[in-house]
Structure formats: C-alpha cells, structure tokens
Amino acid sequence: MTEQAVPQQGFLERHRKVLLGALAVAIFFAAWQAVFLVVPFNPLFISKPNLILGSFYTLLIDGDLLRDLAISAVPFVYGFGAATVVGVTIGVVMGWRQRVGYALDPLMTIFYASPLVALAPLVIVFFGVGVSGKAILIFLLSVFPFIFNAQAGVRAVDRLLINVVRSLGGGERDLYLKVIVPSVLPYIVAGARIAVGRGLIGILVGEFFAASEGIGYAIARFGDLFALDKMFACILCIMIIAVVMTEGIRWAERAAFPWRVGQ
Amino acid sequence: MTDTRALKADIAGDADAPPRNPWRRLEPAAYGCASIVAVLVLWEVLPWIFTLSAGTKLFFTTPSQIGGTLWKMFATGSIWTPLAVSATGFAVGLGLAIVVGLPLGVLIGRSRTLNAMLDPFITAFNATPRLVFLPLVMLWFGLGLWSKVVIVFIGALFPLLINTYEGVRNADKTLINVVRSFGASEWDVARLVVIPNSMPYIIAGLRLAIGRAVLGVVVAEFFGAESGLGVMMVQAAGRYQVDVVFSGLIVFAAVSLLMTAMVQVLENRLSLWRPQQAGGE
C-alpha cells in the first residue's frame, strides 16, 4: 500500500516544475488578454492573444506561414550544413595538429569576436537577396561555434586511448575514426546548439534587409502594415521553432551522451 | 555555460608542461602572428595575381586601403560622432541588463518556485534570436536610442541571468548552512556566500553578454536607427565603399575584444582570494 501511495502523493511534487511553468504561461496570456478590459485597446500598437491565435490559424490554413517557412528553411539547410562540415573539419585539424592550432587560433578568435553580422550588407550586395546570400550569411555566423567546440573536443580526447590505438598498430585514420570522432561528437552537438541560434539570426538579418519572401520578410512586412496580430503570430512561430530546435538538441545530447549530463 | 574558451584554457593548462626551450614558449605566438600576416599579405597581393573584373573590383578592397580609411576616420575625427551614438546604446542597454539580470538571477537561484515559473519564459527568450522583435520594438520605441537599448538589453540580459542563476545554484550548501546556523538572514546568505561564489559564473555571463550586446547594437542600427556606426556601415555598403564597411567591422571587433579583456582583468582582480581549484565552468 505504501509503495503505491508514495508515487501518487508525489505526483504534484514531481511535476511541480512543469506545472508551475505551465501555470505561469497561462497566467501571462490571461493577464495579457485581461489587461485590455481596463486599458483601451489600440490594434495599431499591440495585439491580444485571441486575435493572434486567430491570425495564426488563418496564416496556417492559407498556407502563407508554411510557404514562408519553407522558403527560409532552404538557405538555412545549405548554410548550416556547410558550417557543420567546414567548421568540424577545421576544428578537428586545429585541435589535433598543434601547430595548425597555434596558427589559426588567433585568426579565428578575431573572427569570432567581431560581429560578422556587420558584413551582412556587403554579403547581400555581393551575392544578392536570394538563397546564396542568405546561405552565406548563415554559414558565416554559425561556423565558429563548430570550429571552437570541435577543437576543444579534440583537445579533451583521452591521451591514453590514443596511445592504446597506436600501440596496437592503428594508423592516423583509425585514430580519427575510433577515438577522436566518438569523443568529439558531444562537443560538436553542443556547438550545434549555439550555432542554431546564430543561424536563425542569419536568416532574419538576410530577410529583413532585402527579401521578397520568407519568414523574416513576413515579420517585417506585417510590421510595416501595422498588422500586429499577424506579426505576433509570426514572432511566436519563430520563438517556437527556436525553442524546439535548441531544446531538441539539448534533449538529443542527454539521450545520446548521458555521461555528459551536468556539464 | 557555453563558454568553451575557459574549458580550453583548463585543458591547455594541465596538458602543457612548463616549456624550457624559449622557442617552444614563443611558438604559439609566432605561428599566430605569422598566419595573420600571411592572410593580410595574401589579401593585399590578390588583385596583383588575379586581374579582377570591373564588377568585382567594385566590391574589393585591400588591407592597406582599410587601414588608410581607418586612419583617416580617426585623424579627421569623423568616427567619434557615430561611435558615441553606438556606445551610448551599448552602455545603457548593457547597464540595464546588469541591473536587472543579476538580482533576478540570484532570486530565481534561491527560489525554486520562482525558477519554475519563470523558466519557460527564460528558455523561450534565450533561444529566440532577439532580432525577431526588432520590427515590434521599432514600432514601440521609434528610430532613436531606445529601440537600440531595448534590443541590446534583451540580448545581454539572458546570458547574465542564466549564468548568475547557475552560479547561485552551485553555491556550497555547507557554507550556506553554516552561515544560517549562525543566524544569518536570507540577505546575509546572499551577500556572504552566494554572490562571492557565483562571481566566476557572472563574469563568464558578462563576457557572453558583451558579445551579444555588440551584436545587438549592430543589428539594431542596421534596421532601425538614424545614426551610429552600424548606420554608417549600411550606407557605405550601399555606396560600395567596402573599405568603410570593413573599418566599421574592425572598430566593432576592437571594442568587443577590449571590453572582454577588461572583464578578464576584473575577473583576475576579483578572484585573487579564491583557492586555486575553485572556479566556474
């Protein structure tokens, strides 16, 4: 009996965090909705949750939202994919070959520290407002987390394992495939989590600047049109996507590399 | 939290024994300088090796041109006005983020209820690129200083908040209990144990926040400002003055690096009392 009673009693306590969080979100939206019972509502300045939900539904049904998202996703996939491949390669070599690390580290630090978004006008002018311009912007922004994390990962590789593989006659290729890649992977995934956020910035910058389609363009246009309910719907949509991607990677990290939990 | 640089420093610290040969000590710096020089030289001579088409030439600049432009900007003083405008937005936004972020971080670190309630909002706002709010912020605050301040604030707040929270959470429970046993109030616990212990985390958060604040200034000025360094760069890009764009980028990068270095100095000063093994992530 007591064995059964304990988990039942603990339900509220165990899910306390989730419940409180949900409660807070509910209170937030309720307060947002309720405040306009007291304060006069000006649709040119602010929107209400029910209107936002309505236009979210409309945009979804019309397919506008999905079309914009699909258009924005293409350069993201190209840019982010290229950043993964190039960044991990450079990072692994930098971590593994000490002299390459010495040579490239200051250069990469300078690039990482400088707000590369500032090159956006140039990239757009040079490569145009299409897929290539946006993809290059996304690549530029998201490549550095991969480089630095891959490098840190390689440097954290257990020397003992390397010596073991070498003693047993493993070549350079065996080292890369059997020791370095498995131990570097968690670092790369952590880098991907940072890079996702920066990649999203890349999309938005590219599309705010000069685009005729895409989710960033939709937000800017609805803002210009004072269609605040639609703009809020798009903003919420981006927020959801960002949270799902970041938390999804975090979840994958916990599932795939449980020994790294807590780091 | 996501600061891999600190991690790397630790690894380098225990892996590399103190080098005896002076060349081995100079090696990293030598290679680093050599690669930077090589890139600059290559960039400089590129137009001599390849004949650039007229169209490409429009977009091309060389390090010497950039240096000349930068020198001219400082010599004539034309950089100071936009730089001052950008710096004001940066300073006010970052200052507000510190003033709000640190106490809030301590609060959610100490109160589990508050933490659970605010967690969804913090997660959502931290994951979302704050650029997405820019059209809205411009609608609310106009083209002036305050849009910029808000964007910088949103960007810088969350690294500070989250790192303070992490630091507070990792404070030594034994120390807290000891201070409590001696009759300390919640404020005393915060002042004596929690805040000193979370300093390394706060500093790491500050370093991230500076980067994000600079980024915030740049994007806010690109889309919603009338003056400032970012505005100067966008206008220059429109006129194909590539050297001016790069000069702006260099100034932003220099400010970013300088601020980070200052934070490093601050950290060293503040952690003098700390035993060797302690420290943040």
Q: Is the pLDDT reported for residue A5 higher than 80?
A: no
Mean pLDDT of the residues in chain A: 83
Closest CA to A152 of A90, A214, A195: A90
Closest by Cβ to A205, choosing from B120, B127, B131: B131
B222·A205 Cβ contact <8 A: yes
B135 touches chain A (CB under 8 A): yes
Closest CA to A88 of A192, A222, A179: A192
A105·B28 Cβ contact <8 A: yes
Residues of B in contact with A118 (CB under 8 A): 218, 230, 233, 245, 248-249, 252
B27 touches chain A (CB under 8 A): yes
Q: Average pLDDT, stretch A205-217?
A: 81
Contact A231, A219 (CB under 8 A): yes
B250·A114 Cβ contact <8 A: yes
Closest by Cβ to A243, choosing from B11, B127, B250: B127
CATH of the domain at A149: 1.10.3720.10
Torsion of CA A125, A127, A129, A132, to 10 degrees: -160
Give residue A219's pLDDT band: very low, low, confident or very high (50, 70, 90).
Answer: confident
A117·B31 Cβ contact <8 A: no
Residue A169 lies in a domain: yes
Closest CA to B228 of B155, B145, B133: B145
A156·B7 Cβ contact <8 A: yes
| CATH homologous superfamily, domain B61-270 | MetI-like (1.10.3720.10)
Residue A150 lies in a domain: yes
Closest by Cβ to A114, choosing from B136, B240, B253: B253
Distances (CA, A) of B172 to B164, B184, B258: 15, 15, 33
Shortest alpha-carbon distance between residue A1 and chain B (Å): 31
Q: Is the pLDDT reported for residue A7 higher than 60?
A: no
Q: Average pLDDT, stretch A146-150?
A: 90
Residue A17 lies in a domain: no
Residue A45 lies in a domain: no
Report residue B30: phi and psi, to 5°.
-65, -50
pLDDT in the model for residue A155: 83
Residues of chain A with pLDDT > 70, as a percent, come to 94
Residue ranges of the domains in chain B? 18-60, 61-270
Burial class (CB in 10 A: 0-12, 13-18, 19+), B55: exposed
Sign of CA dihedral B23, A158, A189, A14: negative
Structure-token match 């003098």, residue found: B272
Shortest alpha-carbon distance between residue A18 and chain B (Å): 7
Q: Is the pLDDT reported for residue A163 higher than 70?
A: yes
Neighbour-count burial for B63-84, b at 16+ CB within 10 Å, e otherwise: eebbeebbeebeeeeebeebbe
pLDDT in the model for residue B13: 42
Is the pLDDT higher at A7 or at B46? B46
Residue A42 lies in a domain: no
pLDDT in the model for residue A43: 76
Q: Give contacts of B 36-55 with A, CB under 8 A.
A: 36, 39
pLDDT in the model for residue B55: 66
Residues of A in contact with B250 (CB under 8 A): 114
Contact A234, A222 (CB under 8 A): yes
- Comparing alpha-carbon positions, the chain A residue that sits nearest to B29 is A102
Q: Which of A3-17, A138-152, A198-212 has the highest mean pLDDT?
A: A138-152
Contact A155, B7 (CB under 8 A): no
Residue A117 structural domain: 51-256
B131 touches chain A (CB under 8 A): yes
Distance CA B157, CA B137 (A): 16
Could you tell me the two tokens for A221?
């246009």
Distances (CA, A) of A139 to A119, A134, A198, A241, B41: 12, 9, 9, 19, 25
Give residue B7's pLDDT band: very low, low, confident or very high (50, 70, 90).
Answer: very low
Residues of A in contact with B257 (CB under 8 A): 110, 113
Neighbour-count burial for A202-241, b at 16+ CB within 10 Å, e otherwise: bbbbbbbbebeebbbbbbbbbbeeebbbbbbbbbbbbbeb
Give residue B92's pLDDT band: very low, low, confident or very high (50, 70, 90).
Answer: very high
What's the complex ipTM? Answer: 0.78
Q: Give contacts of B 198-237 with A, CB under 8 A.
A: 211, 214-215, 218-219, 222-223, 230, 233-234, 237
pLDDT in the model for residue B54: 66
B215·A190 Cβ contact <8 A: no
Distance CA B15, CA B112 (A): 39
Q: Is the pLDDT reported for residue A14 higher than 50?
A: yes
B131·A239 Cβ contact <8 A: no
CA R_g for chain A: 24
Could you tell me the two tokens for A250?
């975090």
Q: Which of B36, B132, B264 to mutate to test the interface with A (most CBs of A within 10 A)?
A: B132
Q: Average pLDDT, stretch A120-140?
A: 84
Give residue A263's pLDDT band: very low, low, confident or very high (50, 70, 90).
Answer: very low
Contact B82, B231 (CB under 8 A): yes
Residues of A in contact with B137 (CB under 8 A): none
Structure-token match 């600079």, residue found: B214
Cα B105–chain centre separation? 19
Q: CA geometry: angle at A107 spanning A105 and A109, to 5°?
A: 65
Q: Quick check: helix, strand or coil at residue B161?
A: helix
Residue A139 lies in a domain: yes
pLDDT in the model for residue B98: 93
pLDDT digits (tens, 9 = 90+) for B160-210: 998 888 888 888 788 888 888 888 888 888 788 888 888 888 888 898 898
A239·B127 Cβ contact <8 A: yes
Contact B256, B214 (CB under 8 A): yes
Q: Is the pLDDT reported for residue A81 higher than 60?
A: yes
Residues of B in contact with A194 (CB under 8 A): 2
- Comparing alpha-carbon positions, the chain A residue that sits nearest to B281 is A263
CA R_g for chain B: 23
The total of other beta-carbon atoms located within 10 Å of residue A67's CB is 15
A235·B139 Cβ contact <8 A: no
Distance CA A139, CA A234 (A): 24
Q: Average pLDDT, stretch A176-194?
A: 83
Distances (CA, A) of A95 to A34, A178, A198, B92: 56, 16, 23, 39
What is the number of domains present in chain A? 1
Residues of A in contact with B5 (CB under 8 A): 148
pLDDT digits (tens, 9 = 90+) for A21-70: 888 888 998 888 888 887 777 777 788 888 888 888 888 888 888 888 88
Distance CA B154, CA B94 (A): 9
Report the amino acid identity of residue B133.
Answer: F
Q: Where are the alpha helices (DSSP H) in chain A?
A: 2-14, 16-38, 49-62, 64-96, 98-113, 120-127, 131-155, 159-167, 172-174, 181-209, 215-224, 228-256
Cα A244–chain centre separation? 9
Mean pLDDT of the residues in chain B: 81
Q: Is the pLDDT reported for residue B94 higher than 90?
A: yes
Residue A23 CA neighbour count, 13 Å, CB half: 12
Give residue B275's pLDDT band: very low, low, confident or very high (50, 70, 90).
Answer: low
DSSP state of A179: I
Contact A138, A201 (CB under 8 A): no
Residue A5 lies in a domain: no
B127·A102 Cβ contact <8 A: no
Residues of A in contact with B214 (CB under 8 A): 115
Distance CA B197, CA B177 (A): 14
- Comparing alpha-carbon positions, the chain A residue that sits nearest to B112 is A17
Distance CA A162, CA A196 (A): 32
Considering only the C-alpha atoms of chain B, give the largest distance between any 2 of them, rounded to a whole number of Å: 79
- Comparing alpha-carbon positions, the chain B residue that sits nearest to A209 is B223
Residues of A in contact with B256 (CB under 8 A): 113-115
Residue A180 CA neighbour count, 13 Å, CB half: 23
Could you tell me the two tokens for A151?
């490098």
Report residue B94: phi and psi, to 5°.
-65, -40
Helices B195-223 and B134-141 sit at what angle, rounded to 10 degrees? Answer: 80
B117·A28 Cβ contact <8 A: no
Sign of CA dihedral B117, B166, A113, B95: positive
